[in-house]
Amino acid sequence: MKQFIKYIILPINILLFVVAFPQSLKAQQMTGTFIMSSVGGIENASNNSMAIAFNSSATCLNVQNGTAVLTGDRGTGNFAINCEMNAVFNSLGIKLYPNPVGANTKVKFMNAPPLNDQFNITIWNSEGQQVGAAKATGFEIFQGKQIDFGSLSVGSYVIQIESEKYIDALKFIKAN
């Protein structure tokens, strides 16, 4: 029965949608707007997610949940998994002091970054939830950027600092 639904009913529903709403698909191809959703697809596993609608001229889609990184040929439906990311990882050398961190701590790059680049500073807890965020220039972080960790409870965290070209991360401990 599952095979019948998978190979007969589902393709028929997709075909009916294409026949009934061809202008919707043609509009997506012309405008560059894509709507994507995922419902399962791996044997003995299911994944039901909301549809994602985005408008982009990029051919690289970076999925942040670790599922896939895809590139696509616009309007053809062909995807490949060899998307090239141009970011440089863990090359700037994050230093926090004091570590374990207290209420007020400085974050600093050990290696010189592009001084005028804008960096996003994000704090993640051990459950993968974002618990803090800030912005600073490469110059500010290279000189030592003061960050208030007073609102964090005792535990382990990850600080991630990223710009368009660089991504660095460091695990740290928050003490009393």
Same domain? 93 vs 168: yes
Q: Does 132 lie in the same domain as 73?
A: no
Name the nearest CA neighbour of 69 among 49, 85, 55.
Answer: 85
Q: Are residues 97 and 41 part of one domain?
A: no
pLDDT in tens, 139-152: 999 999 999 999 99
Of 143, 157, 160, nearest to 64 (Cα)? Answer: 160
Residue 15 confidence (pLDDT): 44
Is residue 72 located within the same domain as residue 130?
no
pLDDT at 72: 53
The CATH number covering residue 151 comes to 2.60.40.3080
Instruction: Say yes or no: 70 and 148 in one domain.
Output: no
Q: What is the structure's pLDDT at 13?
A: 47
Instruction: Name residues of the chain where pLDDT drops below 70.
Output: 1-86
Give the per-residue pLDDT at 17: 45
Same-domain status, 59 and 96:
no
- The answer to whether the predicted template modeling score (pTM) of the entire model surpasses 0.75 is no
Give residue 106's domain range: 88-174
Q: How confident is the model at residue 81, as a pLDDT?
A: 53
For the chain, the distance separating the N- and C-terminal CA atoms, rounded to the nearest angstrom, is 59
What tens digit of pLDDT does each residue of 76-87 get? 555 555 556 667
DSSP label at residue 19: H
Count of the separate structural domains present in the chain: 2
